[in-house]
Amino acid sequence: MNTKISTVAELPTKARILIVDDHVVVRQGIAQLVNREDDLDVCAEAGDADEAREVLQKEKVDLAIIDISLPGTSGIELIKLLNEAYPDLLMLVMSMHEESLYSDRAFRAGARGYVMKQEATEKLLQAIRKILNGGVYVSDRMQTIMVQRYLNSGLDDKISFIENLTDREFEILRMIGQGMSVAEIADKLGRSVKTVEAHRANLREKLGLKRAAELARFAAQWVERGN
């Protein structure tokens, strides 16, 4: 009777996960959660877009978990870059930012899922497995919002027009809506005050708003509404 000897090559292959987040504690928490699973392995971590691109030049990665608020190149911009360079790489956004504000833009950039950090423990593993199996992940709440947007399409021209903003304009509009000053936005983005003021002027023109106060009020209402 022949006894079959199991080899390393016959063992199940773990999906290799890259975590991109500028907070070490957050990365460690995600890694601890993911590495408990028999079929998943955090193979690398990165604190910003440049580190993530360096990792991908050296490591084979199946799925990248990416935060939106990264220093320098934003998570949305990174997703676009990686989608072009590594079309087979699956990407999942995990962010503190409201899903209803950012999920559409993240999906257009190339992400396959969106999980908010406060829901990560409950939803992250579910989202990872769904994406690895060829699916797309959004929360039940976001699915409802997407249906409502479709039914109400055309009722609010300014809200709809936000979809045509550049990623940088979109980011600045969100920060204005959160009450941040021009100086605070410039510091956060690593850009000059003059550059932020130019973006703010473009936003007023695109949205048909004459004064900075009108833009601030509109942005605050938009953020509060969660569109």
* pLDDT per residue as tens digits for the range 100-138: 677 878 888 899 999 888 877 778 999 999 999 988 888
Chosen domain end from 90, 119, 142: 142
- Whether 80 and 130 map to the same domain: the answer is yes
* C-alpha R_g of the chain: 20
- Whether 37 and 98 map to the same domain: the answer is yes
pLDDT one-digit tens code per residue, 172-219: 888 888 888 888 998 888 888 999 999 988 888 877 777 888 888 888
- Whether 112 and 15 map to the same domain: the answer is yes
**CATH (domain of 91):** 3.40.50.2300
- Whether 138 and 162 map to the same domain: the answer is no
Number of domains in the chain: 2
Chosen domain end from 108, 142, 176: 142
**Calpha distance 227→221 (Å, rounded):** 10
**Calpha distance 100→105 (Å, rounded):** 10
The answer to whether 72 touches 44, Cβ cutoff 8 Å, is no
Chosen domain end from 142, 166, 189: 142
Whole domain around residue 91: which residue ranges? 11-142
